[in-house]
Amino acid sequence: MVDLVSPGVAIKEKDLTTSVRNEPTSIGAIGIIAEKGPMDQVVTIESEQQLVDIFGKPNTTNHQYWFSAASFLMYSNTLKVVRIVTTGAVNACVSGTAILIKNNMHYTDGDGTTGPYDDGSANVGAWAARSAGAWGNSLRVEACNTAAGFSEAAKTTTAGVEAAGQTVITLSSGTGFVVGDIVYFQETDGQKYRVTNVSTNDITIVRYPTTTATGLASEIASGANVDREWRWADQFERAPGTSQYCTDRGGSNDELHIIIVDEDSKISGVENEVLEKYEAVSKASDGLTDEGNANYYADVIYQSCDYVYWMDHPAGATNWGSLAAGTTFTTPTNSIDAHSLVSGVGGTTAPTEGQRQLAYSDHFSDPDIQDVNLVIAGPASVNNGGATTHGVFITDLVEKRKDCVGFTFDTFKPIKPKIASSNSCLLPYLSKANSPTSPPCAILPSC
């Protein structure tokens, strides 16, 4: 029937739908070695980019694991990945003996043998990378703990006349200056400088923000006032002070700023790129924002940060973590607490067969806990060589589950292919593991 809404105008409705889209239903499972990312934990990955973001890029040790995962994601958007715990893997930290923090649960609850580490007892300094691996050695964490650390006008004076072009400036006192500080000598053009070295009362400088030209832009008189500010002050709206929450409860000095940068460009590709920053977080364990959100700095880092764990308060912060009521939070030893993380290891060491099997058996053996259709073995052996142990293990695992298919790579000797030419790398061979009483186990030839 045609509806006429006005003379000569007809409206017709016609359904042009030809099909209904079906979303991918294949759910894969794999254990891999990776340069970063949580260990001993199932992480659901939906794309190759997400695989890179969480677990890093392939390298000469893990490429067969990594590309097994990436290839699956070309055809499906649900892959459950477990990063295998490998010997010697540890998280980058500030100092002491580096430890392995496998994942968030390990950090907060421990694993029955080691941890928890959210109580400040690890003795590795104030911070540790969020996951094991050398990637964390590129991180630098700086905390501005006081208003004086943020900026100081007329902190000192120049000790003598300094000629234009000079790169080493002698101050009346070099106390309180650190590498990275931004200094201003009251030049009329407003030129500022970044400190690259401090030696007693002598500071070495480069122009800031540009470093194209070198040395002082003009002559500086003896006795000129020297202003200093934290290198990252321009990333924040104001100096840290006292929050309204703390003020209302009779406390003071609870705020601090935290910034995390890619010091060596290994993460972002840009040296000293700002990765994350946290403004006016609180030293009070019950601290809240004006909106009522939890603001205790250790908790904020745990809940929001992708790069580090809080491990301890800085030296001299004797009452940090106390309740806000009536607490004047102490000034730590350093107003700017700055640390480059070191000693991270992981991602380039092959696992043992036992370690790899644990990743699968602990997380993928029970169908009531993890729903999967396809169990992907990765390389036949842990060192990318030929072996049968892992293929047998995967076959046993899927046989126990009875609800999925296992995929291995030329571990078993394949029988005559029935569905593909012998030079095909895309279609599976049928395995000798197949029998009327065994689940399917496809053998994919490695190319």
254 assigned to some structural domain: no
Q: Which domain holds residue 160?
A: 147-234
| Pair 115, 159 in one domain | no
State phi, psi for 337 to the nearest 5 degrees.
-100, 100
The span from the CA of 415 to the CA of 395, in Å, is: 16
| Pair 65, 206 in one domain | no
Question: Is the CB of residue 86 less than 8 Å from the CB of residue 353?
Answer: no
Number of domains in the chain: 3
End position of a domain, from candidates 345, 362, 396: 345
Report the predicted TM-score, pTM, of the whole model to 2 decimal places: 0.85
| Pair 187, 230 in one domain | yes
CATH number of the domain at 387, please. Answer: 3.40.50.11780
Q: What is the pLDDT of residue 387?
A: 60
List, for residues 140-195, the tens digit of each pLDDT value. 999 999 999 999 999 999 999 999 999 999 999 999 999 999 999 999 999 999 99
| Pair 197, 63 in one domain | no
Residue 129: both structure tokens together: 């990378």
Q: What is the pLDDT of residue 214?
A: 85
Residues of the chain with pLDDT under 50: 21, 411-447
The span from the CA of 209 to the CA of 232, in Å, is: 12
Q: What is the pLDDT of residue 238?
A: 97
| Pair 272, 131 in one domain | yes
Q: How would you classify residue 293: left for phi > 0, otherwise alpha for psi between -120 and 50, otherwise beta? A: beta
| Pair 363, 418 in one domain | yes
| Pair 103, 173 in one domain | no
Question: Is the CB of residue 379 less than 8 Å from the CB of residue 410?
Answer: no
Only one residue has tokens 């490998």, namely 86
Sign of the four-CA dihedral 154, 160, 166, 171: negative
Question: Is the CB of residue 380 less than 8 Å from the CB of residue 416?
Answer: no
- Mean pLDDT, the chain, integer: 88
261 assigned to some structural domain: no
| Pair 341, 385 in one domain | no
Residue 366: both structure tokens together: 């029970």
